[in-house]
Structure 1
Amino acid sequence: MIKRSFNAYLQSYQGLSKEIWLLALITFINRAGTMVVPFLSLYLTASLGYTLSEVGWVMTAFGTGSILGSWLGGKLTDHIGYYKVMLVSLIGSGVIFIVVQYLSEFWYLTTGIFVLMLVADMFRPAMYVSIRTHSKPENATRSVTLIRLAINLGFSFGPAIGGAIIAMMTYGVLFWIDGVTCMIAAILLYLLIHEKNQTATLSVDASTTKNTSAYTDVPYLVFLMVVFITGVMFLQLFATVPLYYKTIHLLTESQIGWLIAMNGMIIFLFEMPLINWLENQKISKTTVLWIGTLFLGLGFWVFNFSSWVGILIISMVFITLGEMLIFPFANSFAMERSKRGKAGEYMALFPIAFSAAHIIGPNLGMQLTEQFGYNFTWTLVFLASAVGLLLCYYLRYRLKVEKAGYENTDQKI
């Protein structure tokens, strides 16, 4: 039984290209060094003395830079290719990470965070296009999942090590580590992966589609609304939740780091087998998104049920399960939908929706918490999940109508 389960686990990783594995390695190194983000709200309050309201505005600058960076990355990917965009983003963000640690005045730091995310998130649409270029269509979801596993494995190491570093040294060391690991990732990308011409792949896709603009693709826009809402919810994990851990449950930075690292370890151990099983069950992506949105909402709502510290672990399990169900299939949905038009345009709007959540989510969470308290914020997050559930139903309906329309057209022809 154990041997059969282990073989099934290994089988879920088979069939992926060498380039996808190398991208996963580079992503892991880069993400393992990204230690600042989970502690950014704590850094701004504990080290720089910012108020929750000021932290909210810094987080808004974070999200605004992310949106513009994703848009710019998509445009550049369509014009100069994903490879050059990825290299420039990694090198540039590495330099800026090191510079940002020396900014403490509110407006200087806010501008620095904006520029950092502008450069760093150029990487995201380029990476999505690279995944599509280097993977077979039937392996698209698992390829995305492998990259996410690398991100989350790195994310498991990052907060845990970051929390220990803060306890022993200073927050400034984290910025140096972030900057250096970005540059190491850029060097490995240059040495290990060669640019592949994506023109042929895109032209084959375009020949079988209507070349629809992403901006007029209604089901895709509804899908982006789901991504935005779930993003607003999920990002509370890095904004209000660490403060909740510290102020309400009196956890240390090291304990917070280990608790957040639990998220990454669960994903590393269980996400790929779960995705492989769901794909074999032929469950629709919209159904998976619906279930994931429900679990994500419950993960925050359970905070209201008890002051017992064990509820933090229960919450993290729910949030992680929701994340495992939502994000791989959302990535895959976006990549499949991008075959209808320019890949860069489609794959830029996808991270832009998540970046828009960066603008609204953390700031909204901070402002609501400061004005009405944590319980009110967790309840509102759960209500947001209800809106997301309704949108998932509507998305499924639009896709059925679209499919029926294609079938009727084929019959007429």
Structure 2
Amino acid sequence: MKKFYTYYIENFRGLSKEVWLLSLVTFINRAGAMVIPFLSLYLVNEKGFTLPQVGWIMTSFGVGSLFGTWVGGKLTDSIGYYKVIVLSLFFGGLGFIGLQFLDTFYGICAGVFALIFVADAYRPAIFVACDAYSKPKNITRSIALIRLAINLGFSIGPLIGGIIIAKINYDSLFWIDGLTCIMASALLFVVLKPKKLQSGETKEVVVKEGVSPYKNALYLLLIAIMVFNGIMFVQYFSVVPLYYEQAHFLSEDLIGLLLFLNGFMIVVFEMPLVGWLERINISKTMATFWGIVFLALSFIVLNMSDWIGVLVIGMILMTLGEMIGSPFSNALAISMAPKGRKGSYMGLYSMSFSFSHIFGHNGGMNLVDSYGYDITWYVFFVVLVLVALLTLWLLKLLKRSRTISTY
């Protein structure tokens, strides 16, 4: 046990104090975003909206995320990641507090869009900041630490949020969400102020190199891979829980336990796994490939048996795919971004997950409704196999172009 602990801690060594601070702020932000998991329940139980209306409100959520990450990427390149992060956290906190005072359908659609637009501007900026404060050899582990903070926050946040709703009310949830975001903004503002220029120093003028991400064919191929991979991945947070209930008759507490397994594995095993993969010198693109393969296997295994244990196996396979694929694909996206354009590149990378949310949940639900779960899992498996082959093609093209040193 002591040997495992020593090995585990070793994977965190060498990361800058700024990355640790960004991780702490990210944890506070994600743990504080307790409204999100309960938003649908709030809209139905407290506001009395119908399910179709809730669907449109959640579409507003996805569209807000899409445009927020795009604008966040642009602003990161123009005014810097520091200002984007601080302003996103502060105004996002005000947005959470204000959302509870909206009552009409169109008002809440607009409010949710505006809130997520501001809140998700944070996403490309935090990864550009992570790149700025990391040595090149540590960037993947730094991203993994940020992801650990996100997952730890998402694991603790809903637990605390459920207690707050049960013991107090929904309104207090909005206040706590908003205040924690504002607190994270203040912490970052106080502790991580940009360094002032010393006498005689001149401000570095950032010259944009390379082409726009929208004109980079190889990067657009990576984004297409991420969109299709993301569409399949989000099924684990919409269609798959329904499958647990309707096909295997699991109760909500057991479904919650299966979903908790995902966060628990990431918190405990992702950093050691990423550290080991870096030590064996796996390429970022090949790690992305194996992440997609494990996700594909997590769906096909569901059709192999009616034994309830396959659900656990499927969750473990999906989590392995997430732990391997996500940090390395993120690092690959950063490494493909030329100087002066990292915000725009990471904005587009973040937008790929917004597209996944917009189309993934609806597409999965309709596929199940028309053809049933078994056919749906086969379709997802085939699509992911094709996406994995696209990833191998991307690796071949990157080697041929030699546009980046590490692929």
Shorter-chain TM-score category? 0.7 to 0.9
For 2:371 and 2:175, the matched residues in 1 are separated by 37
User: Contact (CA 8 Å) 1:167, 1:254: kept in 2 or not?
Assistant: no
Aligned amino acid, residue 274 of structure 1: L
TM-score (norm 1): 0.86
1:395 Cα shift?
0.6
For 1:378 and 1:360, the matched residues in 2 are separated by 17
- Could you say which residue in structure 2 is the equivalent of 1:411? none
Aligned amino acid, residue 115 of structure 1: A
- Could you say which residue in structure 1 is the equivalent of 2:185? 186
- Could you say which residue in structure 2 is the equivalent of 1:30? 29
User: Contact (CA 8 Å) 1:20, 1:135: kept in 2 or not?
Assistant: yes
Aligned amino acid, residue 119 of structure 1: V
Specify which structure has the bigger relative contact order, considering alpha-carbon pairs within 8 angstroms and separated by 6 or more residues: 1
| 1:13 to 1:224, Cα distance in 2 relative to 1, 3 A | same
Q: Which moved more, 1:384-393 or 1:64-73?
A: 384-393
For 2:53 and 2:300, the matched residues in 1 are separated by 26
For 1:81 and 1:341, the matched residues in 2 are separated by 10
- Could you say which residue in structure 1 is the equivalent of 2:395? 396
User: Contact (CA 8 Å) 2:241, 2:255: kept in 1 or not?
Assistant: yes
User: Contact (CA 8 Å) 1:163, 1:253: kept in 2 or not?
Assistant: no
TM-score (norm 2): 0.88
- Could you say which residue in structure 2 is the equivalent of 1:364? 363
| 1:241 to 1:171, Cα distance in 2 relative to 1, 3 A | farther
1:303 Cα shift?
3.7
1:31 Cα shift?
1.1
5 Å matches for 1:86-125?
A: 86-103=85-102, 105-125=104-124
User: Contact (CA 8 Å) 2:285, 2:332: kept in 1 or not?
Assistant: no
For 1:119 and 1:44, the matched residues in 2 are separated by 21
| 1:58 to 1:191, Cα distance in 2 relative to 1, 3 A | same
User: Contact (CA 8 Å) 2:72, 2:124: kept in 1 or not?
Assistant: yes
Secondary structure at the residue paired with 1:135?
coil
5 Å matches for 1:303-342?
A: 303-306=302-305, 308-339=307-338, 342=341
User: Contact (CA 8 Å) 1:53, 1:370: kept in 2 or not?
Assistant: no
| 1:217 to 1:49, Cα distance in 2 relative to 1, 3 A | same
5 Å matches for 1:131-170?
A: 131-166=130-165, 168=167, 170=169
- Could you say which residue in structure 2 is the equivalent of 1:274? 273
Aligned amino acid, residue 364 of structure 1: G
- Alignment RMSD, CA only? 2.9
5 Å matches for 1:186-225?
A: 186-195=185-194, 200=204, 211-225=210-224
Query: Structure 1: where are the runs of 5+ without partners?
Result: 408-413
For 1:195 and 1:50, the matched residues in 2 are separated by 45
1:182 Cα shift?
1.2
1:41 Cα shift?
4.5
- Could you say which residue in structure 1 is the equivalent of 2:200? none
User: Contact (CA 8 Å) 1:163, 1:256: kept in 2 or not?
Assistant: no
User: Contact (CA 8 Å) 1:214, 1:341: kept in 2 or not?
Assistant: no
Q: What are the superposed Cα offsets for residues 225-267 of structure 1, whole Å, 9 maximum, x if unpaired?
A: 1111121122223333344445555555555444323211111
Percent identical residues: 48
| 1:310 to 1:96, Cα distance in 2 relative to 1, 3 A | farther
1:364 Cα shift?
2.0
Q: Which moved more, 1:335-344 or 1:41-50?
A: 41-50
For 2:45 and 2:375, the matched residues in 1 are separated by 24
| 1:73 to 1:227, Cα distance in 2 relative to 1, 3 A | same
Matched, 1:351 2:346: no
| 1:355 to 1:15, Cα distance in 2 relative to 1, 3 A | same
Secondary structure at the residue paired with 1:13?
coil
| 1:166 to 1:379, Cα distance in 2 relative to 1, 3 A | farther
1:52 Cα shift?
5.5
User: Contact (CA 8 Å) 2:336, 2:404: kept in 1 or not?
Assistant: no
For 2:243 and 2:42, the matched residues in 1 are separated by 14
For 2:300 and 2:169, the matched residues in 1 are separated by 34
1:59 Cα shift?
3.0
| 1:406 to 1:78, Cα distance in 2 relative to 1, 3 A | closer
| 1:363 to 1:406, Cα distance in 2 relative to 1, 3 A | closer
Aligned amino acid, residue 21 of structure 2: L
